[in-house]
Structure 1
Amino acid sequence: MTYRRLPSLIPLRSFEAAARHRSVTRAAGELLVTPGAVSRGVRALEEEVGTALFTRGATGLALTPAGEALFAAAKEGLDRIAAGLVATRRATPPRRLRIGAYALFASRWLIPRWNRLRERHPELELELQTTADPLELVPGHFDAVIAVADGRPRPGLQAMPLVAIETGPVCAPSLLPRFHWQRATLLHSRQRPDDWSRWLAEAGLDGVDAAAGPRFESIALALDAAAEGLGVAMAIQALVAQDLATGRVVAPHPHIRRTSRHFTLLHDAARAGDPALAALRAWLANEICS
């Protein structure tokens, strides 16, 4: 068997990108690293081959004869590797997963991240079914579900907590100048009927009728009503982050009520080794940490 003495792929990629762009800065932008990291990679490769690969002048980088020869070989090799990966992915049967999730979690947290999942795992095909009814999110009916769980062990199921359920009030920015809790219209969700009474008790606000105000079929409708200036709604913080960031809604009070419950990925423990589920769990873990 012939032994191939090859350099590390990281310095080789740094060199190939810098040679193709004739720029360390542009190579760093392509590789999503710092210019310093590209320069270190090129220096490491030069030390390994024992000769300079670039000359650096007023007009930028220029390849030495040795650099020209290595660049031609490196570009061809990396192009062939990239083409091979594309062909392999096309030849790999798609891994299908049927996922059940709360509609609000899907629309406010999962869908905005969906393209990143497709980019990281193009082999996955997810069928997403959403509902507002927790009784429909039965793990046995899906490959996995994203449901609300309190952290207690569930026999036969593997649980992965994703997003903490923390609640706080939101309203339209136009209400803030004249906002007064005793005169505020509370907007309720039939899905979470006790949110207001629990939050008001923790926040220490007296004289507010926790039961008064219109009721909506879902949290999403109550949030839409709040954004339109119809009153103040109780929001799950992780699912309203984008609305707060864009100023669609604002928080009229700083208190956040923390609970012991999370949106949680649940699936049959016997399928823990399923490659598709393992890929989904790894991607979700990365999203939670980022």
Structure 2
Amino acid sequence: MVSRRLPSLTALRAFEATARHGGMRRAAAELHVTPGAVSRQVRLLEEELGRPLFIRGARGLEATPAGAVLAAALHEALGRIATGLDDALALPPARRPLTIGAYAHFASRWLIPRWGRLRAAHPDLDIALTTSADPQALRPSRFDAVIAVADPRPRPGLLCWPLVPIETVPVCAPALAGPPFDWSRQHLLHSRQRPRDWARWLAAAGIAGVDPEGGSHFESVALALDAAAGGLGVALAIRALVAPDLESGRLVVPAPFIRRSRRCFVLQQEAERAAEPGLARFRDWLLAEAGAPG
């Protein structure tokens, strides 16, 4: 089908209403404009088409042959548009998933185990979850909301709610825990996602004589924890994220010192989106699960 430029829809509607009513006054009343405005639109349409569309008869305006053909076509087309609008508005609104970005280790260890409760509380809430260990991939502008490792202090244009503190503790298999527990004989297990954890923890705990860089290095925190559970050494864990492993006895804490970071797991979203209903429901549920103030 070859496309062509169509005349103004305003002019076409003015002409169709005039032809249907046989006069411009009633057409103007239907369109909520003045008769003069209708007259101008019809005149502009006639000028664009290069032929008259009305002649003035004894009983008012009568369509010319060209006008009658155009009026019939417009009447049918506008009727189909009106029917299409009614049909479209009768359909339920399309559901757009809520896009959530989350720090991968938090998602697997804390969020996913609670996912069933989220579905039970909000069965109509569709969520598209993306996980990453890269902070740059979890920018709030890319998602409806993100769960990231960050300083909980507010920033301009960004709302922030602290969820879970980052408290690191050493963990290992029960067989390695002693007593006695001799740090000089321990094999440290590192995560490349958090390469400075052992240096910070050992310094804060006041433990000397241990090489903070020595030991085995793994791609993720999850792999380091699996290695610890397998008896390969001692890993550092975020206490809130290994609670099930500690409760089951899969892992134990051989030394009780806890180092608390100034950063924590936080929920972040752009301030302009705070009132969106789906986002507000997810936020309220998440804060309730974390035991955090709303």
Which category of TM-score, normalised to the shorter sequence, fits these structures? Answer: 0.5 to 0.7
Tell me the residue number matched to 2:146: 145
Q: Distance in 1 between matches of 2:171 and 2:260?
A: 16
SS at match of 1:130: strand
Tell me the residue number matched to 2:161: 160
Matched, 1:200 2:197: no
What does residue range 118-267 of structure 1 map to in structure 2 within 5 Å? 118-177=119-178, 179-267=181-269
Over residues 5-36 of structure 1, what are the superposed CA-to-partner deviations in whole Å (9 max), with x where a residue is unaligned? xxxxxxxxxxxxxxxxxxxxxxxxxxxxxxxx
Over residues 85-131 of structure 1, what are the superposed CA-to-partner deviations in whole Å (9 max), with x where a residue is unaligned? xxxxxx78646201111111111000010011111111110111111
Contact map agreement 1:186 1:214 (CA 8 A) in 2 = yes
Tell me the residue number matched to 2:102: 101
Contact map agreement 2:153 2:160 (CA 8 A) in 1 = no
Q: Distance in 2 between matches of 1:216 and 1:103?
A: 15
**Given residue 113 of structure 1, which amino acid in structure 2 is its aligned partner?**
R
**Given residue 272 of structure 1, which amino acid in structure 2 is its aligned partner?**
A
Tell me the residue number matched to 1:26: none
For structure 2, the 5+ residue unaligned runs are 1-91
**Given residue 125 of structure 2, which amino acid in structure 1 is its aligned partner?**
L
TM-score, length of structure 1 as denominator length = 0.66
Tell me the residue number matched to 1:110: 111
TM-score, length of structure 2 as denominator length = 0.65
Quote how far apart the aligned CAs of 1:186 are. Answer: 0.5
Q: Distance in 1 between matches of 2:227 and 2:136?
A: 26
Q: Distance in 1 between matches of 2:150 and 2:123?
A: 29
Over residues 39-82 of structure 1, what are the superposed CA-to-partner deviations in whole Å (9 max), with x where a residue is unaligned? xxxxxxxxxxxxxxxxxxxxxxxxxxxxxxxxxxxxxxxxxxxx
SS at match of 2:278: helix
Quote how far apart the aligned CAs of 1:249 are. Answer: 0.4
Contact map agreement 1:96 1:276 (CA 8 A) in 2 = no
Runs of 4+ in structure 1 off by over 6 angstroms are: none
Quote how far apart the aligned CAs of 1:187 are. Answer: 0.6
Contact map agreement 1:145 1:266 (CA 8 A) in 2 = yes
Quote how far apart the aligned CAs of 1:230 are. Answer: 0.6
Quote how far apart the aligned CAs of 1:224 are. Answer: 0.8
Contact map agreement 1:185 1:232 (CA 8 A) in 2 = yes
Over residues 131-186 of structure 1, what are the superposed CA-to-partner deviations in whole Å (9 max), with x where a residue is unaligned? 12111111111111111111232221111111111101000111123642101001
Quote how far apart the aligned CAs of 1:210 are. Answer: 1.0
Contact map agreement 1:92 1:123 (CA 8 A) in 2 = no
Tell me the residue number matched to 2:71: none
**Given residue 203 of structure 1, which amino acid in structure 2 is its aligned partner?**
A
What RMSD in Å do the two structures reach over aligned CA positions? 1.6
Tell me the residue number matched to 1:287: 289
SS at match of 1:124: coil
For structure 1, the 5+ residue unaligned runs are 1-90
Q: Distance in 1 between matches of 2:223 and 2:137?
A: 20
Q: Distance in 2 between matches of 1:134 and 1:115?
A: 27
Q: Distance in 2 between matches of 1:93 and 1:244?
A: 44
How many residues align structurally? 200
Quote how far apart the aligned CAs of 1:207 are. Answer: 1.2
Contact map agreement 1:158 1:268 (CA 8 A) in 2 = yes
Q: Distance in 2 between matches of 1:289 and 1:98?
A: 23
Quote how far apart the aligned CAs of 1:191 are. Answer: 1.2
Contact map agreement 1:93 1:123 (CA 8 A) in 2 = no
Report which of the two structures shows the higher radius of gyration computed on alpha carbons.
2
SS at match of 1:107: helix
SS at match of 2:105: helix
Q: Distance in 2 between matches of 1:171 and 1:274?
A: 44
Q: Distance in 1 between matches of 2:223 and 2:103?
A: 14
Contact map agreement 2:274 2:280 (CA 8 A) in 1 = yes
